[in-house]
């Protein structure tokens, strides 16, 4: 228990302090190169648009298929690899994520890119442990819809839900649906909270994902994103920490992927995709431009991961 504050990168009582976000970087401009779809300089209309896949440049229309192949490959051992890669710290990050959401009975949650159910199960446990929870008295039933573009990941989540007995619960209830984060199969203004954990960096167009989150949320609803981030965004330069982190990321994680799943390439991509994701401040700006208010973030483990939050007003 004494390790938790240190692992989360927290001072004081063990909870990260949210940082308010500004509408632009200090220079007044916002970098879009890390995740925005770009077009070639050639004026020919036949030239395909391009985006990144890790450090590679690929045709935009091919990225979803390439990402799908990655997660088809790793689905069965996804949670095991997360434990290996983070020494189990990802579980503490996800616990902190759910504490930040702090759902109350009756909450309708949409968890996007959550195929294996890690966030959904924490949501259900949080509802059931709430002192105000009562199946008999709760007129507005609590519900979580797990939406993932990858059927293989959803099958893992369904199996886990059956093993844990969650599918038998009427309140809170859980549903698994196949869907694209950029074009959700969910009605407008139909959920109270939207979560996405370690998924948004794999999407082709982050701005579309944020726009869809804004569309499906009710007024007053909350957007929460847990994602790998940047330790060099903390306001100080620490080349030693950065070099250790880079050495671990590019040498150890792909090797673990090869040893545990016989798939080095997929984990090489995952590491590269983290480096291409926007900084904490730049991502705040994207969320604000998507229509959200009261946007802030808090770093976990020196900024290795971060939680971003915003509200639909």
Distances (CA, A) of 123 to 46, 89, 97, 131, 214: 47, 19, 10, 15, 20
pLDDT (tens digit per residue) in 187-221: 999 999 999 999 898 888 999 999 999 999 999 99
Q: How confident is the model at residue 302 (pLDDT cuts 50, 70, 90)?
A: confident
Please give the Cα distance from 224 to 97 (Å, whole number).
Answer: 8
pLDDT of amino acid 249: 87
Closest Cα partner for 265 from 67, 48, 14? 67
Beta strands in 134-239 (DSSP E): 143-148, 173-178, 191-197, 217-228
| Residue 8 per-residue DSSP state | H
Q: How confident is the model at residue 236 (pLDDT cuts 50, 70, 90)?
A: low
pLDDT (tens digit per residue) in 94-148: 999 999 999 999 999 999 999 889 999 999 999 999 988 877 666 678 999 999 9
The pLDDT of 32-60, averaged and rounded, is 52
Please give the Cα distance from 68 to 63 (Å, whole number).
Answer: 8
pLDDT of amino acid 11: 38
């Amino acid at each position: 228990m004494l390790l938790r504050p240190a692992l989360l990168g927290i001072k004081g009582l063990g909870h990260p302090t949210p940082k308010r976000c500004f509408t632009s970087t200090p220079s007044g401009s916002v970098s879009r190169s890390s995740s925005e779809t770009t077009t070639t300089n050639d004026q020919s209309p036949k030239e395909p648009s391009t985006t990144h896949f890790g450090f590679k440049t690929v045709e935009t229309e091919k990225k979803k298929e390439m990402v799908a192949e990655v997660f088809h490959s790793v689905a069965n051992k996804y949670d095991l690899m997360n434990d290996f890669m983070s020494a189990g710290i990802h579980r503490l990050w996800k616990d902190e994520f759910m504490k930040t959401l702090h759902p109350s009975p009756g909450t309708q949650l949409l968890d996007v890119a959550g195929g294996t159910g890690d966030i959904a199960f924490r949501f259900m446990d949080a509802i059931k442990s709430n002192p105000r929870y009562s199946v008999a008295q709760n007129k507005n039933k609590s519900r979580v819809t797990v939406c993932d573009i990858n059927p293989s990941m959803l099958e893992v989540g369904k199996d886990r839900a059956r093993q844990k007995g969650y599918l038998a619960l009427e309140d809170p209830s859980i549903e698994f649906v196949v869907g694209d984060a950029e074009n959700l199969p969910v009605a407008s203004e139909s959920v109270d909270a939207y979560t996405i954990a370690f998924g948004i960096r794999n999407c082709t167009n982050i701005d579309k994902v944020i726009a869809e989150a804004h569309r499906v949320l009710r007024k007053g609803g909350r957007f929460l994103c847990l994602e790998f981030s940047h330790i060099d965004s903390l306001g100080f330069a620490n080349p030693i920490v950065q070099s250790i982190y880079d050495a671990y990321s590019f040498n150890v994680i792909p090797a673990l992927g090869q040893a545990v799943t016989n798939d080095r390439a997929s984990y090489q991509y995952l590491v590269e995709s983290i480096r291409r994701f926007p900084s904490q401040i730049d991502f705040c700006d994207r969320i604000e431009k998507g229509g959200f208010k009261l946007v802030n973030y808090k770093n976990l483990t020196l900024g290795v991961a971060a939680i971003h939050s915003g509200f639909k007003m």
